[in-house]
Amino acid sequence: MSDIPVYRNYINGEFSAEPTSTIEVFNPANGRLLSKVPNSSAEEVEQAIHAARKAQSSWAQKPAIERAGFLKKIADKVRQNAERLATVIVKEQGKTKELANVEVNFTADYIDYMAEWARRIEGEVVTSDRPGENIFVFRKPLGVVAGILPWNFPFFLIARKMAPALITGNTIVVKPSEETPNNCFEFAKLVAETDLPPGVFNVVCGTGHEVGNALSTSPKIDMISFTGSVETGSRIMSAAAPNVTKLNLELGGKAPAIVLADADLDLAAQAIKDSRVINSGQVCNCAERVYVQASVAEEFIAKLSQAMSATRYGDPMAQSDIDMGPLVNKVGLDKVAKMVEFAKKQGAEVVTGGQVADLGQGFHYQPTVLTGCNSDMEIMQKEIFGAVLPVQIVADLDEAIGYANASEYGLTSSVYTQNLSLAMNAVRGLDYGETYINRENFEAMQGFHAGARKSGVGGADGRHGLYEYMRTQVAYIQS
């Protein structure tokens, strides 16, 4: 057991002493122990916040282009270590190696993209009502950001919070998910190899209850940038309320996919299947429920079922020719199994899948298509987070939009049609942060990833995502 790595927190540019209390991290594909990570206390969180605060003002005073230089060095390190980092992610999270490679390279590109904003952070000069007055709107950093991460794209989400925070002059304390912390410590090791000033980037690992809560309740945190479940997001909101801390919450989804009668059914079946199978269905923005127009329902369901049943799955470290790995843990597997069983009791019919997959080890669930679903069912309302597609038949686009919008989530949506008017009507009618027409759901770094209703507050990526990490100051200068 001596070769099991014990990771340490990264605070003020140094790795802390070996932790006295640890959390064990396991491979979800085979149950093997991978590492031990700090089960940190509120005091350690306080040390990290103190380091980030101390570093912030000199970091903010550096020209943005200099800050960009540090980010680019980190992006280069990520690229140089891509193969190793992808393997770390596969082992602790269970995604395919192919997807882990995409995640690592996308992360490096994302850091570079945010660095490129250095010369484009802009204020405004506004017309005054008074003679001889100038009104300037300045953009300033917030201060210290807390980045609280989930486990599903653990590596990319470090960058999605760290890169906009740092380029705009903030410093950050990152708390990785206790399910998938190893990649974050490997990232910290790469940061430590650069000359990034101490305290600008810090990592403290532990439970949500202790470390997450200490960050959320701290009066010394200027923004909490959180990605995770609605339940935790809501808890963080309450914890942050006494300090009126700014929140950026990227929460869950229940993405509707609408297939209309004139759609390219092969494309729709393939794209919806791809959207559901990626990362074993554990993606906030990917197709979670399908509405298909009655006249093509039979043909489409047959195509979708064929695509889903052809999905190959297994242990991503042992097999390279698979489309998905296991679910992240037993809790996730039990949740999917329970939801499908309940859907069956409520009248859903299994077209393909519908069972826990017995591969001898790992938390696998068969790729599943359910028909006979209606919008009152739990499976059409609650986030599944597994490769299960419940299908409901609808009369037309308006009915589909009505069901799609009658959800507590509002993150992403997709529509398959070859008719431009129908596509535009769908975009107008769908009350969602993102709508994809004739393609699988996956956002671009230059877009803006933000959800309506309980899917979140604020958003990430692009210009709008960048400015989430800044506040304004207006100067009225009479001359």
Site for ligand NAD, rule CB under 6 A:
148-152, 175, 177-178, 207-209, 212-213, 216, 227-229, 232, 235-236, 250-253, 284, 383, 411, 449, 451, 456
Q: Which is nearer to ligand NAD, 243 or 295 (CB)?
A: 243
Between CA 463 and CA 447 the distance in angstroms is 8
**Residue 14: Cβ-neighbour burial (10 angstroms; 0-12, 13-18, 19+):** middle
Between CA 66 and CA 143 the distance in angstroms is 18
Q: Give min distance, CB of 145 to ligand NAD, in A.
A: 14
Q: Give min distance, CB of 472 to ligand NAD, in A.
A: 25
Q: Which is nearer to ligand NAD, 212 or 362 (CB)?
A: 212
> In this structure, is the dihedral angle defined by the CA atoms of residues 250, 252, 258 and 259, taken in order, positive or negative?
positive
Q: Give min distance, CB of 468 to ligand NAD, in A.
A: 13
**Residue 89: Cβ-neighbour burial (10 angstroms; 0-12, 13-18, 19+):** buried
Q: Which is nearer to ligand NAD, 152 or 280 (CB)?
A: 152
The residues that are catalytic are 250, 284
Q: Which is nearer to ligand NAD, 158 or 200 (CB)?
A: 158
Q: Give min distance, CB of 417 to ligand NAD, in A.
A: 26
Q: Give min distance, CB of 135 to ligand NAD, in A.
A: 36
Between CA 164 and CA 64 the distance in angstroms is 11
Q: Give min distance, CB of 137 to ligand NAD, in A.
A: 29
Is 161 within 8 Å of 174 (Cβ atoms)? yes
First to last CA, the chain: 72
Fill in the DSSP letter of residue 196.
Answer: P
Amino acid identity, position 160: R
Q: Which is nearer to ligand NAD, 353 or 459 (CB)?
A: 459
Between CA 447 and CA 72 the distance in angstroms is 21
**430: which 2 tokens?**
């769908």
> Cα 11 to the chain's mean position, in Å?
24
**78: which 2 tokens?**
């990520």
Place of tokens 């970091």: 59
Residue 339's CB: how many other CB atoms inside 10 A?
21
Between CA 286 and CA 385 the distance in angstroms is 9
Q: Which is nearer to ligand NAD, 112 or 383 (CB)?
A: 383
